[in-house]
Amino acid sequence: MRINHNIPALNAHRILSRNNNSASETMERLSSGRRINRAKDDAAGMAISEKMKTQIRGLRKASQNTLDGISLIQTAEGAMNEVHSMLQRMRELAVQSANGTTTDDDREAIQSEIDQLTSEVNRIANGTEFNTRNLLRGNEGPNSNTTVHRMSTGEAATIVSPHQIKGDADLSSEDMTITIDGEERVIRLASIDGSSSEEEQKDKMVEVINDAIGDLGNAILTSSGNIEIRSTSVGGNSNIEIEGTKLALHGFGLMSEEDYNDSDLKAQPITARGKAEVDTGYAEGSILFDEIPEAGSTLTIGGTKIEFFDSSVEPYTGSYRPIDISDGDGNPRDLEEIIDIITGMDFAGIDSIERDRISTPVNFEVITPSDNTAGSEVEGVYSFELLSQPVAGETITIGGVEFTFTNDDSGVEIGADLDATIANLETAIGDEGTFTATDIGNPITITETTASGTDITVESTVGTYVDRIVFTATEEGFAGQSIFLEGTPKEFVANLQIGPNQGQGFRLSVGDIRAVQLNISSETPDGNTGVRGASYRQVKGVTDGLSEGMVEHSLNVSDEESATAAITVYNNAIIQVAQLRGELGAIQNRLEYTSANLDNTMENMTAALSRIEDADMALEMSEYTKMNVMMQAGTSMLAQANQQPQMVLQLLQG
């Protein structure tokens, strides 16, 4: 028997302490309801459960975000419903005004109601908000001032005038229409009267086309003075048709001088069709710059976002690829510099990035037809004008003889300017021998050395640069079409976070339904309604809906002809709003399914978390009962073990 170390007591104490700890842990699980209260309870389970909690809380918030998105759509769609009702009423009034039994006084009253309803359309569009964000007045953020054609193996319908447009022509009394993808638009030529300078009138000519076609396409003026019209749509169904009087087509460079002067020749429609999309070749897309991008605007190219900033105002602090629109000295950069910066960048999935160059046909004229009839043998005399400075590799073919422009003397050397290049071309023509240059300059006049008997043609691949960047995909076929190109959207855009993780968003867009966008009002009295015979009032009678000032001109229904044409304008507006409402309805249906899926996923994930983290109360209570009995037994045994040293005293007392 020992008294210095009571081994049975130590053993009983150890077991009692262990049971006490187990009982404490069991009580903790019973009181919290959780199987895992700290990492040591289940390290792996704790790590898994924390990730699950992250997902569950994210799913819960994503579901709320989705419901907020549905509420936003319902707000916008409800406002559009009222606009639809007003458009129907305005169409009804136009039908009434077009009736021959309606007097001028009646039409004046009708016009007054039209003005008020148009102002109310503006009020709804300008005043409809969701959480202080304006929904129906388009994108109010910084504008990149770009027109984007998506990546495609097909092509948009494109018309390039074969001749320069005439900046001094009076086309104010002429007629011209353009039809893009089946939608006919009237081009208003009243302002093209030859009274402005040539440069100003050329800009006006491009402007009236863009006013007419709206979002259906885009017209630009090349540096060589030709006009290019390109549809927004891409593919085999994309088409453009231009019809007009001979003078109008001639003025826009769509008819040659010779054809215009031929009194027997009637004006023919000018047509173009896009190229169908196929799963071969490499997809191409483009971004056309109308002017310098605004600071804060962005471009998206594939998975890369470019943000423009102005270093003369503040340094860049964002996280995208920045481009400074200032040259560092406080002066704005040239658009050409910005294009050069972008073309020098690398983007995933993009094989090549080049500034676009479109071919500009030469101005060709037959001065003296060639004739080798016996006894006559007349050499043909021709002239042609090269409209732009070539680049290396481009060619000009004169009567079957091809001349290639180069950067050295291996071909026609490109000079310091167009005049120098023309001089080198004239020398090359003379050296070749088929023709002689008899009139030095631009246009170039050439004469056959020997009569050929048939008139020649002159064809050229020489082009001119435009402010457009062309992107070519790395992958062939439809795979390359998946690369996303985007400038500044014209409509209101909200990105809904409808998932718990980064990148699980949904982009919601709502169209602009202000009266000007629906073509039922205009900021100027000579605005383009897009419908033949329809016009706007000369006097402003429409407000923005939020103030008393008159800012726009309403559709004119003050006479039978104008009222009849206005019916079609209101028809187009009704269809436009119906399309927007249809898109919102489809998105709302999608978001309702999204919300249901999020709730279902959250429920299932919560159940999985419960199986990992929650305690089985019945099992824990059984364990607690066992530990309670063990603690009582251990306490009793420890007490008895502590009594053993007392027996030594009995031995000592004898």
> Taking 90 as the threshold, does the pLDDT of residue 620 lie above it?
no
User: Which pLDDT score, from 0 to 100, does residue 453 have?
Assistant: 84
User: Which pLDDT score, from 0 to 100, does residue 31 have?
Assistant: 79
Measured distance CA(461)–CA(304) in Å, rounded: 34
Type of residue found at 526: D
Q: Higher model confidence: residue 617 or residue 515?
A: 515
Class of domain 60-139+510-601: mainly alpha
Q: Name the nearest CA neighbour of 67 among 585, 496, 504.
A: 496
User: Do the domains 156-274 and 361-461 sit in the same CATH topology, yes or no?
Assistant: yes
Q: Give per-residue pLDDT as tens, 439-495.
A: 677 888 999 998 888 888 888 888 888 999 999 999 999 999 999 999 998 899 999
User: Which pLDDT score, from 0 to 100, does residue 147 have?
Assistant: 92
Strand 363-368 relative to strand 350-359, pairing: unpaired
> Taking 80 as the threshold, does the pLDDT of residue 143 lie above it?
yes
User: Which pLDDT score, from 0 to 100, does residue 537 have?
Assistant: 94
User: Which pLDDT score, from 0 to 100, does residue 1 have?
Assistant: 60
* Cα–chain center distance at 320: 18
Q: Give per-residue pLDDT as tens, 536-572.
A: 999 999 999 989 899 999 999 999 999 999 999 999 9
Q: Kindly state the average pLDDT of the residues 346-351.
A: 93
Q: Kindly state the average pLDDT of the residues 61-74.
A: 95
DSSP 379: P
> Taking 70 as the threshold, does the pLDDT of residue 305 lie above it?
yes
pLDDT band at 122 (very low <50, low <70, confident <90, very high): very high
Measured distance CA(210)–CA(178) in Å, rounded: 11
User: Which pLDDT score, from 0 to 100, does residue 33 have?
Assistant: 78
Q: Give per-residue pLDDT as tens, 76-114.
A: 999 999 999 999 999 999 999 999 999 999 999 999 999
User: Which pLDDT score, from 0 to 100, does residue 527 have?
Assistant: 87
- What's the CATH number of domain 156-274, 1.10.3470, 2.60.40, 2.30.30, 3.30.420? 2.60.40
Q: Name the nearest CA neighbour of 509 among 218, 141, 150.
A: 141
User: Which pLDDT score, from 0 to 100, does residue 389 have?
Assistant: 87
Specify whether the CB–CB gap between 390 and 462 falls below 8 A: yes
User: Which pLDDT score, from 0 to 100, does residue 256 have?
Assistant: 85
| Tokens coding 307 | 């943000």
Q: Give per-residue pLDDT as tens, 371-427.
A: 877 667 888 899 888 888 898 999 999 988 999 999 998 999 999 998 899 999 999
Measured distance CA(227)–CA(533) in Å, rounded: 26
pLDDT band at 590 (very low <50, low <70, confident <90, very high): very high
User: Which pLDDT score, from 0 to 100, does residue 26 have?
Assistant: 80
| Tokens coding 169 | 């022509």
Class of domain 361-461: mainly beta
Specify whether the CB–CB gap between 282 and 151 falls below 8 A: no
> Taking 80 as the threshold, does the pLDDT of residue 136 lie above it?
yes
> Taking 80 as the threshold, does the pLDDT of residue 133 lie above it?
yes
DSSP 480: G
- Burial of residue 604, with CB atoms counted within 10 A of its CB: 0-12 exposed, 13-18 middle, 19 or more buried: exposed
Instruction: Check whether the bond before 293 is cis (ω within 30° of 0).
Output: no
Average pLDDT, the chain: 90
Residue bearing tokens 């530990």: 627
| Tokens coding 604 | 């299932």
pLDDT > 90 fraction of the chain, expressed in percent and rounded: 63
Helix (H) or strand (E) holding 61: helix 43-97
The predicted model scores a pTM of: 0.79
Q: Kindly state the average pLDDT of the residues 61-87.
A: 96
Bridge partners, residue 543, by sequence: 550
| Tokens coding 389 | 């400075």
Q: Kindly state the average pLDDT of the residues 326-341.
A: 90
Q: Please tell me which of 150-159, 216-225, 620-629 the model is most confident about, judged by mean pLDDT.
A: 150-159
Domain extents in the chain: 60-139+510-601, 156-274, 361-461
User: Which pLDDT score, from 0 to 100, does residue 141 have?
Assistant: 87
User: Which pLDDT score, from 0 to 100, does residue 654 have?
Assistant: 60
CA angle (189 as vertex; 183, 194 as ends), nearest 5: 155
